[in-house]
Amino acid sequence: MKSRGELKTEKQNPKSSTIDSMSINEILVTINQEDQAIASAVECAIPEIEKTVEFTVNSIRKGGRVFYVGAGTSGRLGVLDASEIPPTYSAPKGLFIGVIAGGEPALTNSIEGAEDKPEAALQDLQKYNINENDTLIGISCSGAADYVVSALDHAKENGAKTIYLVTNPNPYKMTRVDMIIRAITGPEVVTGSTRMKAGTATKLILNMISTATMIKLGKVYGNLMVDLMAVNDKLVDRGTRIIHEVTGIDYTQSGKLLTESGMSVKTGIVMGMLDCSKAAAEQALEEQDGFLHRVISNQDN
């Protein structure tokens, strides 16, 4: 690709060419109509997202980690998704790691030029000792961020699986990776403002990757969040209701099981279903790699 102007995300959108003279309602309708195409763009990328999840699941099973690396909005979305995994699924904090160009200050402020510093990516990743057990997902809507390309190259050189997530047919700067996820969201309502459609598509895809990964690792039973740790009033109530839903034990007793389990919903469920101690429940789960449905199936058999 010869110039950034050829990127679809940098082109003018004819549907919003007069947006500066529209009424508020017309502006909102225009944005909403453009947003409706995002899910279809993501749907077209499902085969590549599926392969990515195979990589992430395999990495974690081998003791590796999943890295999200990006700049600006892309980096913030990666850090956001990674930060939500531990409280949602009781996963170790270092399982999903978000890395943003410019570091922590870039989460709340625009750090101009951070994406153009490939050497900074090497410095930021050095402490993680990326290896063949890891997966690194480089996020760049245009594929023009030197920081992201450098991170992908570094991970590839160290044997990790690498995925390039872009919202254009092809990245502006190509590099050798194991998989390219292309969510082709097209021109933005405000030209070049990829925090809009491109950013929304990115968040959807990251949610899909992390959620599917956690499900395949036994963190969900049915569609219930059974691996959450009840650390506040809302989650205590949710955890109690989940125990009640799965075991059929009344709400009050389910709350007692949650307390006795050390606020672990999954452990509380097993304690209730097997009528056993916390230690015995934890052992039963460990023997089945944390998969609640396997513990329950063994009981039924």
- Residue 263 buriedness (CB in 10 A; 0-12 / 13-18 / 19+): middle
Question: Which residues have C-beta within 8 Å of that of residue 157, sequence separation ≥ 6?
Answer: none
Six token digits for residue 290: 């944390």
Residue 96: phi and psi, rounded to 5, are -110, 130
Beta bridge partners of 97: 67
Task: Please tell me the number of Cα atoms within 13 Å of 129 on its side-chain side.
Answer: 1
Measured from the Cβ of residue 159, the count of other Cβ atoms closer than 10 Å reads 12
CA dihedral of residues 185, 190, 193, 198 (deg, nearest 10): -20
Tell me, yes or no, if 282 is annotated catalytic.
no
Six token digits for residue 251: 């709400």
Catalytic member of 54, 84, 245, 260: 84
Distance of alpha carbon 256 from alpha carbon 266, whole angstroms: 14
Distance of alpha carbon 178 from alpha carbon 170, whole angstroms: 15
Question: Which residues have C-beta within 8 Å of that of residue 172, sequence separation ≥ 6?
Answer: 1, 4, 7, 142, 143, 144
Tell me, yes or no, if 115 is annotated catalytic.
yes
Distance of alpha carbon 28 from alpha carbon 183, whole angstroms: 23
Catalytic member of 115, 132, 157, 282: 115
Active site residues: 84, 115
